[in-house]
Structure 1
Amino acid sequence: MDLGQPVRAVVPSLDGPVLTVLAGLATPISGREVGRLVGTASPAGVQRVLTRLAAEGVVHAERRTNTVYYSTNREHLAWPAVEVLAGLRRELLGRIAERVQAWSVPVHTAAVFGSLARGEGNTDSDVDLLLVRADDLTGEQSQVWEEQVDALVTAVQAWTGNRAQPYEISVQELRAHVDAGEPIVQSWQREAITLAGRDVTAVLRSVAR
């Protein structure tokens, strides 16, 4: 799955990103602004998509002086499908959170970072997971923990087609990473999205000396 534009998994054309932008807005915007938010498309290409979507009735087009403003038509029969496709990134984060929160050996902190957290990436990008475990796991708990992580990796790949890359670390090891100034810590501080357990920022602050 394209982690930057998950909708492309089903709608590989420019229509998908344009619909994703419009689905996340509550007020009409100009075609130029839609193009700016889509980011990787020509203005002419975005305008062609908007014109077609307006002809299909999926979006409303309203002319104001010399500018046409576009907004979603949430009454359209196709709109529920658009909502699902536009919300694929949110759905993925929700599924990971739900899975991790149900673990029998609880996670201290679970988060995503990297391209998924930044809303970037492509079909070759990994789903980067930060999984912080307690320091005092018993032998049996450690085995269950590994089974949980393996099951999550398998599930993420089934959900997305992308490889999950878990970064497993204990609280003590996390403290050592912070003390050593490991570059990956800056990535966690800057972009990580907490999905379960303690907030990443709070945990990093608590282990800093």
Structure 2
Amino acid sequence: MNLGRPFAVVTPTLDGDVLQVLAGAKASFTAPQVHRLVEGWSESGVRRTLHRLVEQGIVRSDTVGRTAAYRLNRRHLAADHVIGIAQLRVRLLEAIAVEVDGWDPWPSGVALFGSAATGAMTTKSDIDVFVVRPVGTRGEEMPMSEADDERWEGQVAELSRLIGEWTGNDARVLVFTDREVFSAARSGAPLEPVLADIAEHGIWVVGSSADLRPESTAG
């Protein structure tokens, strides 16, 4: 699945891209505005698609001056399904949050990163997830047994498996300990590329990018 083009799950046509634009905001859009927000399609194709969706009732057309403006008909019987598809990335984040909420111990941080977070993914892209394992920082170490390690690794493996079922994509779970994150942030050196990418573009389910900033480790 391509989280940047979620309607490709059900249709590879322009209809899906247009519906994604209209479902993403409660505002109205002119045909040229919609055209600027979709990629790889002609403006004439966008106009034909809008007219077809108006005929189906899922899109409403209002006249503003001499210009037609289009918006999703949110009272249409199909509207909830359209909005649900448009929000598949949000639903993935919610599903991840529910899954990790039952972990023992609860992770210090969880974030979606890479192409799945930036919108640059394809159907063949991995879904990258950053997970921070709590082991203790500032000398307050948590005791860890072999059983603790096995339980943690099992939780990570299960999350990876579930993401594959939810999306059809391979999942790549990158695990750091909170001590490693703390040390990287306070070292004064530039973050390694993957952590810098997570700090800048990560979509956080648990924790925040503040954990990767030097000022968050002061004190």
Conserved in 1, the CA contact under 8 Å of 2:184 and 2:212? no
Aligned with 1:131: secondary structure?
strand
Q: Give the equivalent residue in structure 1 for 2:173.
A: 166
What TM-score, normalized by structure 2, do the two folds share? 0.87
The answer for the alignment partner of 1:126 in structure 2 is 126
Q: What do you get for the CA RMSD once the two structures are aligned?
A: 1.9
Structure 2 residue aligned with 1:88: 88
Q: Which has the higher mean CA deviation after the structures are superposed, 40-49 or 89-98?
A: 40-49
Question: Deviation at 1:78?
Answer: 1.9
Runs of 4+ in structure 1 displaced over 4 angstroms?
A: none
Structure 1 unaligned spans of 5+: none
d(CA) in 2 for partners of 1:51, 1:3: 26
Aligned length: 208
Q: Distance in 2 between matches of 1:80 and 1:191?
A: 29
Deviations 1:50-94 (A, max 9, x none): 111011111111222332100111222222221221121111111
Residue aligning to 1:191:
201
Q: How does 1:1-209 map to 2 (within 5 A)?
A: 1-135=1-135, 136=142, 137-178=144-185, 179=187, 180-181=189-190, 182-196=192-206, 198-205=207-214, 206-207=216-217
Deviations 1:182-201 (A, max 9, x none): 111220121111102x2232
- SS, match of residue 103 in structure 2: coil
Deviations 1:72-129 (A, max 9, x none): 1122222222122112111111101111122122101111111111133110111111
Change (3 A) 1:95 1:36: same
CA distance in 1, matches of 2:4, 2:64: 32
State the 1:138 CA deviation.
2.7
| Structure 1 stretch displaced more, 34-43 or 2-11 | 34-43
Q: Distance in 2 between matches of 1:203 and 1:183?
A: 12
Q: 1:87 to 1:107 in 2, by over 3 A?
A: same
Aligned-residue sequence identity (percent) comes to 36
Q: Separation in 1 of the partners of 2:211 and 2:179?
A: 15
Q: Structure 1 length normalisation: TM-score? A: 0.91
Q: What are the Cα deviations for residues 125-149 of structure 1, in whole angstroms up to 9, with x where unaligned?
A: 1111110112233322111110000
CA distance in 2, matches of 1:46, 1:163: 33
